[in-house]
Amino acid sequence: MIYLDHAATTPVRSEVLDAMMPFFSLNYGNPSSLHHKGQEASQALEDARQSIAKDLNCYPDEIVFTSGGTESDNLAIRGYAFANQRNGKHIITSCVEHHAVLNTCRQLQQHHGFEVTYLPVDSTGMVSPDDFQGAIKPETILASIMYANNEVGTIEPIRELARIAHDHDVGFHTDAVQVLGLIDLNLRELGVDMLSLSAHKCYGPKGVGVLFVKRGVLLMEIHAGGGQESTRRSGTENVPGIVGMATAIHLAFSGYRKNLHRLEKLRDRLIEYILEEVPGAQLTGHPAQRLPNSASFTFPNIPGPDELILLLDLNGIAASSGSACHAKSIEPSHVLTAMGVSLERSSGSLRLSLGYENTEEEIKQVLHILPEVVMELQGLSGGFHATNSKAKNPYLESGK
């Protein structure tokens, strides 16, 4: 199987698993316990917090451990909204956010009397800073704009948006789940107030994440309980997962630059060839401001995205049509719809997201298989007729 769905999840690295294992058996204590076993776990927890803070260039007490990106987004938006609603009840977000952000905002609208502005995006999925500034009102207290889109890979102008927000005394949160290990995250330079991360997007375990909360930011806890994480997130911490996450983040920050060029080269190879060889193929997302591992497309005359993904799977390629969290929905992608992509085209969407373990030989195999799979489905729908593209393809014949 050629795995090209790293935007959905990544395999756990062996070094990460090795770091986690003692905390399932030998060092199994509850970090809130006062005895020796508890203190072992507590020390591991704080070591992980220190490590992550160093890698992200922030203070250790600005790191809040959560169960993943969804909880981090919920805690950031709900926690900030409830803690600061005396200053206003208006929130700004974009219409291409992850559903962890969109549905949280909708619930605040429907059940708590908040007003939410959903900013449009252009045809590449980019939020306009001018639109953002124009949406700010005296009662605006918070903005939440994702760092990079999980479906099409577009990277948003987060530094500029955060600066505009702060010029108007508006708090700023970004969902940075997709960028971990792919973009340098220096939180002192980025200028955001809150930032969400998830371990399983960068070769760590599932079920554990981080919310960065800048010093001085008021946040109300949304899980009432024992007051863990400095009363910001109650619940016994997932010590094995947190240790694994700290290891994964450190490995990602240590090695991402040396892998960046290789990932970009493989991504560009996919994009160039697919646009040239697959009838009607169109790139989705920004052509330049996109994640180094992300290539996303739409194809005309495809019966539906499930058929494309399943046929690729039968041919040994694991890919996706968009967000894994929304994969079973029969609704068209809200991201592609917001970008102006027609329903006919969005039904033929494909996301290929690369990882460090992918090889040039694997990409070469994908470039042999994908055009024939797409054209077979186009032929079944009465569109383009399938042809054997291998024989006529100089790109593949040259061994590039």
Query: Which residues are tagged catalytic?
Result: 325
What tokens were used for 146? 């994702």
The residues near 209 (Cβ < 8 Å, ≥ 6 apart) are 65, 66, 67, 68, 69, 71, 72, 177, 196, 197, 198, 199, 245
C-alpha separations of 179 from 7, 121, 175, 199, 284 in Å: 9, 19, 9, 11, 18
Strand partners, 209: 66, 198
Contact present, 93 and 121 (Cβ < 8 Å): no
| 391's tokens | 């024989």
* Nearest partner of 145 among 164, 371, 137, judged by Cα: 164
Query: Cα dist. 373→73, 300, 307, 396 in Å?
Result: 37, 13, 10, 17
3-state secondary structure of 265: helix
Q: How far apart are CA 285 and CA 122, in angstroms?
A: 10
Give the H or E element holding residue 331: none
Q: In what order do the strands lie in the sheet with 294-298?
A: 282-283, 294-298, 349-353
DSSP 302: -
Q: CA angle, 248 as apex, 247 and 254 as ends, to 5°?
A: 90
Alpha-carbon gap, residue 126 to 102, rounded angstroms? 17
Do β-strands 317-318 and 2-3 pair in parallel, antiparallel, or remain unpaired?
parallel
3 state SS of 66: strand
d(CA 149, CA 394): 33
Q: How far is CA 97 from CA 104, 144, 247, 300, 348, in A?
A: 11, 9, 28, 25, 21
Q: Which tokens in the block code for residue 3?
A: 């795995």
Asked if residue 239 lies in contact with residue 205, where contact means CB atoms within 8 angstroms, the answer is: no
